[in-house]
Amino acid sequence: MTALDDLAGRHEIRTSEAMEELGRRIGSDLVAGDVLILTGPLGAGKTTFTRGLAEGLGVRGPVQSPTFVIARTHPSLVGGAPLVHMDAYRLGSAAELDDLDVDVPGSVVVIEWGRGMAEELADAWWDIELERPVGAGTDGLSPEELDADAPRTVTIARATAR
Ligand SMILES: Nc1ncnc2c1ncn2[C@@H]1O[C@H](COP(=O)(O)OP(=O)(O)O)[C@@H](O)[C@H]1O
Ligand SMILES: [Mg+2]
């Protein structure tokens, strides 16, 4: 059993600190070969979650939004697996993801916007969906409103390729 098995299901995460803490808890339990797919709108907290995850895993930061780089590798500071943090937003297809030749068995892989592409990388992965409360869509919200501490829901589920 891993932390993720215990955390499967839906959680309300009220602050960005709590989001980092969730990432830390999960990251401290991940091993090489683990793949996590993060889904959720801009500002939902995908990168914030990954920042905590990197800390828990013990890899070198800083974790930033990988907007201009498709994949960034964070080496381990504790002799463990590196973190490969990917942003699939700009990838046209799963085939392009495959072309990046990520060492999945030797890394922990976190892919923002990767849903529908993970099948190329692994037989099984964790599907993590981050949402804003119903009625508070990102459209029309200013950056301040987007960043202000506000509850998100995080739903964690195991997924397997068919
Ligand atoms: N409950 C919360 N969980 C996560 N982030 C939050 C929360 N409340 C406010 N925030 C803020 O929202 C922003 C989320 O940004 P980021 O993690 O880059 O999102 P994404 O990668 O999904 O686009 C950050 O500025 C963070 O501080
Ligand atoms: Mg991001």
pLDDT score of 39 more than 90: yes
Please tell me whether residue 77 adopts helix, strand or coil conformation. Answer: coil
pLDDT score of 84 more than 70: yes
- pLDDT band at residue 115, thresholds of 50, 70 and 90? confident
Question: DSSP secondary-structure letter at 64?
Answer: -
Sign of CA dihedral 113, 116, 120, 126: positive
- pLDDT band at residue 145, thresholds of 50, 70 and 90? confident
More confident residue, 149 or 50: 50
Question: DSSP secondary-structure letter at 76?
Answer: B
| Cα–Cα distance for residue pair 70/25, rounded to 1 Å | 25
For a substitution probing ligand 1, which of 16, 68, 154 has the most ligand atoms within 8 Å of its CB? 16
| Cα–Cα distance for residue pair 35/20, rounded to 1 Å | 18
Q: Give the pLDDT of residue 162.
A: 74
Ligand 1 atom 9, closest CA: 149
For the CA of 42, the closest atom of ligand 1 is 23
Query: Residue 22, Cα to own-chain centre: how many angstroms?
Result: 11
Say which ligand is closest to the CA of 40: 1
| Cα–Cα distance for residue pair 49/22, rounded to 1 Å | 7
| Predicted TM-score of the model (pTM) | 0.92
Q: Which residue has the tokens 């979650």?
A: 49
pLDDT tens, 146-162? 777 889 999 999 999 87
**What does pLDDT average to over the chain?**
89
Do 121 and 35 meet the contact criterion of CB atoms below 8 Å apart?
yes
The alpha helices in the chain, defined as continuous H runs, are 3-7, 16-27, 46-57, 94-99, 143-147
Q: Give the pLDDT of residue 128.
A: 97
For the CA of 152, the closest atom of ligand 1 is 1
For the CA of 15, the closest atom of ligand 1 is 1
CA of 117 to the centre of ligand 1 (A): 23
Cβ < 6 Å from ligand 1: which residues? Answer: 13-16, 19, 40, 42-48, 65, 147, 149-152
Q: Give the pLDDT of residue 78.
A: 97
CA of 162 to the centre of ligand 1 (A): 32
